[in-house]
Structure 1
Amino acid sequence: MQCASILKNDRILWTALAAKTLFEKARGLMFRAKAIPLLFDFGRDGSRANAIHSIFCPVFDAVFLNERKRVVCIMENVKPFQLLLYSQKPCRFLIELPQGESRKVKMGDSLRWG
């Protein structure tokens, strides 16, 4: 996995691993002892089509962003073994974070990475 620095107003919030392959995206945080920042690109805006799960995952926060990289949904303290989690608004990107880290952003914030 490649690393991506995720910024808000030119300040680095997190250095995330970018899940690129189907296997990396499917695994996500599964079987990890604790959550680490992970970045997902679903390839297009969607909602239910871009659903996630928390099977065999530690507790984590999830930040969903639209194609313009604006925050459209924040889920805090996602518990393990939830089968279907998705943003009510269309999203293209997801950042999975350690518990409590989503407090660094709010709805509508614009993030960037390269």
Structure 2
Amino acid sequence: MQINNSTKGTVLAETFEECRTWWEQTKGMMFRPVVVPLVFYFGREKTIRLHSWFCPGEMDLIFLDENWEVVEVYSQWEKRSTYTSRNPALFLLELPADTVAKSKTEVGDIVQIVK
């Protein structure tokens, strides 16, 4: 399975892990040796509060609504910091740093999971 930006025709990730449960979402990127693509599924659109303590490095964040439309991006999120989304989101992508720049992903783009 891969994650695509169908608006731009670019690939965001060739593979990814899903974070659906409370425990998977709590653990997220923590204690991993490298940043790997993660897809978080929340039960409802909400403001998302994050921290990057115990994470391996910088990452890009893409916040999506119920239609998988990008509602917010945050590039180069530094480890050992916090971030709160400005917009409610139903899904969150945590991706290796520079993914947003390389894929030219921006607010309004549509993201697609390809199985």
Contact 1:72 1:87 in 2 (8 A): no
- Larger RCO: 1 or 2 (CA < 8 Å, sep 6+): 2
SS at match of 2:50: coil
Shift, 1:11, TM fit? 5.4
Shift, 1:53, TM fit? 1.2
TM-score, structure 2 length as denominator?
0.84
Letter in 1 for 2:22: L
Deviations 1:36-59 (A, max 9, x none): 100001111111xx2111111121
CA distance in 1, matches of 2:20, 2:81: 23
Shift, 1:77, TM fit? 1.1
Letter in 2 for 1:70: E
**Aligned residue for 1:110?**
110
Letter in 2 for 1:80: K
**Aligned residue for 1:101?**
99
**Aligned residue for 1:60?**
59
**Aligned residue for 2:78?**
79
SS at match of 2:23: helix
SS at match of 1:52: strand
Unpaired runs of at least 5, structure 1: none
Percent identity between the two aligned chains:
31
SS at match of 2:75: strand
**Aligned residue for 1:5?**
2
TM-score, structure 1 length as denominator?
0.84
Letter in 2 for 1:41: Y
Alignment coverage as a number of residue pairs: 108
Structure 1 residues 6-15 or 69-78, which shifts more? 6-15
